[in-house]
Structure 1
């Protein structure tokens, strides 16, 4: 099994930018419980259709990612997520320097 590095682009429901960041503050704490790491979080203003937040996450393997996605604590936050997050795009990346 190989590590997964993911890029997540998040766009807030209009007027819910602060709520998106609060939700992400809460849910990203769970990543470590599944062996993952939040490598980077970048916050933008969402202007011109750009994301409000960009995250780079690493998980040891797909099983760890699946565990994070299915974590009951994360699932319980789904209503809040739906209220504040308009769109999420997640895709695998290779980091280069």
Structure 2
């Protein structure tokens, strides 16, 4: 069963470029787990808005779980923590 997510990301102050670079690296792993980026957009992060919005899809839940536990992704935790202040993830249905 396909699962779909909306991901909202807020950068730490002055770290929007680092957030984008980190996301470039980890999103490149999605395909190996049956996932893909459907849409990725950057915002200005002003007035509480996120710096990045993503729509992501996985062919099955196991792929999502595998992506979350991928050692290449988890090895970047310090890079993520230095760049990303907040992440909100919502299951959605694309229409």
Q: TM-score range by the shorter chain?
A: over 0.9
Aligned residues: 95
For 1:86, what is the secondary structure of its paired residue?
Answer: strand
Partner of 1:73: 72
Partner of 2:35: 36
Shift of 1:76: 0.5
Partner of 2:90: 91
Shift of 1:95: 1.2
Shift of 1:62: 1.1
Unaligned runs of 5+ in 1: none
Q: TM-score by structure 1 length?
A: 0.96
Once the two structures are superposed, residues 14-57 of structure 1 have per-residue CA deviations (whole angstroms, 9 ceiling, x without a partner) of 01010000000111000011011110100000011000000000
Partner of 1:21: 20
Shift of 1:82: 0.4
Q: TM-score by structure 2 length?
A: 0.98
Aligned mates of 1:32, 1:54 — CA distance in 2: 19
Partner of 1:5: 4
Q: CA RMSD in A?
A: 0.5
For 1:65, what is the secondary structure of its paired residue?
Answer: helix
